[in-house]
Amino acid sequence: MDKIINPNKSEWAQILKRPTQEVADIEQTVNQIFDEIRQKGDAAVAKYTELFDGFKMNELKASETEIKEAESQISDELKEAISLAKANIEKFHAAQRTSRVSVETTAGVTCWQEKKAIQKVGLYIPGGTAPLFSSILMLAIPANLAGCKEIVLCTPPGKDGKVNPAILYAAKLCGVTQIFKVGGIQAIGAMTFGTESVPQVYKIFGPGNQFVTVAKQLATKYQVAIDMPAGPSELLVYADDSADAAFVASDLLSQAEHGIDSQVILVSTSEKMIDAVSEEIEKQLADLPRQAIAEQAIGNSRLILVNSEEEAMELINEYGPEHFIICSENEDFFTDKVQNAGSVFIGNYTPESAGDYASGTNHTLPTNGYAKQYSGVNLDSFMKTITFQKIEAEGIMEIGPSIELLAEAEGLAAHKNAVSLRLKKLAK
C-alpha cells in the first residue's frame, strides 16, 4: 500500500481517486448488449451467457428440482448461520416500518401519505469467484417485508451451468419468486426489457462489477429504477493508537479480497499505527486463499497520515466511503462529524464483516463517492410513497381564493377556473 504523509488538500482528489474505468469505455458494450436483448430476448441472453460465463444455456430459469437439491447440499451448520443472520436482518428492517402520516393543513383540508410496495423488483446477485448469497438476505428480506409481489433474482452460473447451492437455498428461504441463471450486463438487460423467460421489473437492486454498475445506470433510461450505483467494494478505516493493528489489517484485507478493483484506505494521525498495520497486512496476506486478488486491490490502496482528527474527518467526508470503520479513543467526534458514508462501524470489536453478514444492517451500499447523496438499501428502498388529499367545502372556501391568485399570477387560467367554478357553486 502506498504510504502518504501529510498530503496537501490540493492533492486529495488524486490520492482518493477510485480504480475504476471511465464510464464511456463501458457504455458502448452495455448499449450493444441491451439492443440485442430488446430485439432477440432469450436468444441474446443465452448468447452472452455462453460468451462471458462459458456455458451454453438451454433453460435460463432454475428448476424446482435444482432448488430442492440445493437444500440437501448445504450443511446444517451453514443453515443455522443463515438463519441467525436472517433473524437479525428481519428484526432491524422490520423496525423501519412507519405509520401513515396525516395532517389537517387547514380546516377542511386533510393531506396524508401512505407507503406502497414496489410490485416487481429484480435482485442481482454476483457469482463467480465469490457467490454472494448474503446479498440475497439483504435484498429479499426487506422486499418481502415491504410486500413486493414479484421478486426476481438473476445470478451468473458456473461453467457447469449450475448456481452455487447456497444462493439457491437462501433465495428459496427468503421468498424469491423466480431464479434465473443469468449474470452480468445481460441479466440487467433481461430485467430491464423483459424476455420470453425473464420478467420485466420496476426496480433493480444489487451489487456488481463496473459493467453491472453501468448497465444499471443505463437501465434508468428505460423507465427502470435502481437502488444506487453500487460498484466495486471499498473500505476506509480511521485508527489511532488505541486500535489493534492486526484487527485493522484484517478489516482492510476483508474488503481487498472482494476483487482486484476494490479499494481500501487507512487514515491515521499516528505513523506508528500506519507502520504496524502495514506489517500486519504483509503477514496476513500470505495466508489468504484469495491472495492474488487481494494483492492487486492493495495496489489501489492507501495509508494516509494526517496532522489532526479534524483534517482526517474532512478527508473522509470528501472520500465518502462505502464502509467506514472508526477505531479511536475519540469515537464520538467521528460519529458526530461524519456526513458521507454508506455504513459506519465503531470500535475495535466491530468488524465490517459483521455488517456484511449478521449484525442486521444492510450491506448493499453506495460506492465510488455516491455516499454523498445516496443511502444504503433499507425497507423504504422497496416502497414508494403516495400522497393523498381530501378537501371539504369549508376547505376549498378557505384556500380557494389563494389558489385563484397563484394560478392567475402564473398565467394558468384553467387552473384558476377549476377552483372558481367550485367557489361559485358554494356561494349560491
Which CATH number covers residue 241? 3.40.50.1980
> Alpha-carbon Rg of the chain, whole angstroms?
25
* Residues 306, 323 share a domain: yes
Please say if the pLDDT value at position 235 is more than 80. Answer: yes
**Strand duo 343-346 + 109-117: pairing:** unpaired
Q: What are phi and psi of 305, to 5 degrees?
A: -95, 130
- pLDDT tier at 58, thresholds 50, 70, 90: confident
Q: Is 291 assigned to a binding site? A: no
* Mean pLDDT over each residue of the chain, to the nearest integer: 95
Residue 107 resides in a domain = no
- pLDDT tier at 21, thresholds 50, 70, 90: low
Tell me the sheet residues that pair with 61: 180
Q: Which of 183, 207, 228 is the last residue of a domain?
A: 228
* Residues 189, 74 share a domain: yes
Q: Is 124 assigned to a binding site? A: yes
* Residues 399, 334 share a domain: no
The residue ranking higher by pLDDT, 13 or 127, is 13
> For position 129, what pLDDT does the model report?
65
> For position 231, what pLDDT does the model report?
73
* Residues 236, 201 share a domain: no
Cα–Cα distance, 321 to 324 (Å, whole number): 6
Residue 43 resides in a domain = yes
List active site positions.
322-323
* Residues 27, 155 share a domain: yes
* Residues 307, 220 share a domain: no
> For position 47, what pLDDT does the model report?
96
The model carries a pTM of 0.93
For residues 243-255, one letter each, b for 16 or more C-beta atoms within 10 angstroms of the residue's C-beta and e for the rest, the string is bbbebbbbbbbbb
Q: Is 363 assigned to a binding site? A: no
Please say if the pLDDT value at position 365 is more than 90. Answer: yes
Which alpha helices (H) appear in 365-412, and where do they start and end? 393-409
Grid cell locating 70: 440445493
Other Cβ atoms closer than 10 A to 373: 10
Total domains present in the chain: 3
* Residues 258, 245 share a domain: yes
Mean pLDDT of 23-36: 91
Residue 304 resides in a domain = yes
Other Cβ atoms closer than 10 A to 338: 18
Q: Is 209 assigned to a binding site? A: yes
pLDDT tens digit sequence for 150-208: 999 999 998 888 999 999 999 999 999 999 999 999 999 999 999 999 999 999 999 88
Whole-number percent of the chain with pLDDT over 70 = 99
Residue 277 resides in a domain = yes
* Residues 83, 53 share a domain: yes
Cα–Cα distance, 39 to 298 (Å, whole number): 42
Residue 143 resides in a domain = yes
Grid cell locating 173: 428461504
Q: Which of 308, 340, 360 is the last residue of a domain?
A: 360
Q: Which of 360, 383, 408 is the last residue of a domain?
A: 360
Cα–Cα distance, 277 to 24 (Å, whole number): 37
> For position 19, what pLDDT does the model report?
83
* Residues 156, 57 share a domain: yes
**Strand duo 109-117 + 101-106: pairing:** antiparallel
* Residues 144, 126 share a domain: yes
Residue 374 resides in a domain = no
Cα–Cα distance, 138 to 102 (Å, whole number): 31
Mean pLDDT of 370-387: 97
Task: Please answer whether residues 264 and 234 qualify as being in contact, where contact means their C-beta atoms are separated by less than 8 angstroms.
Answer: yes
Residue 387 resides in a domain = no
Cα–Cα distance, 3 to 265 (Å, whole number): 10
Q: Is 329 assigned to a binding site? A: no
Residue 83 resides in a domain = yes
Cα–Cα distance, 332 to 252 (Å, whole number): 22
* Residues 97, 210 share a domain: yes
Q: What are phi and psi of 53, to 5 degrees?
A: -110, -5
Q: Is 410 assigned to a binding site? A: yes
> For position 284, what pLDDT does the model report?
97
- pLDDT tier at 210, thresholds 50, 70, 90: confident
Q: Which residues contact 403 (CB under 8 A, 6 or more apart)?
A: 415, 416, 419
* Residues 352, 258 share a domain: yes
Please say if the pLDDT value at position 222 is more than 70. Answer: yes
- Boundaries of domain holding 7: 2-20+232-360
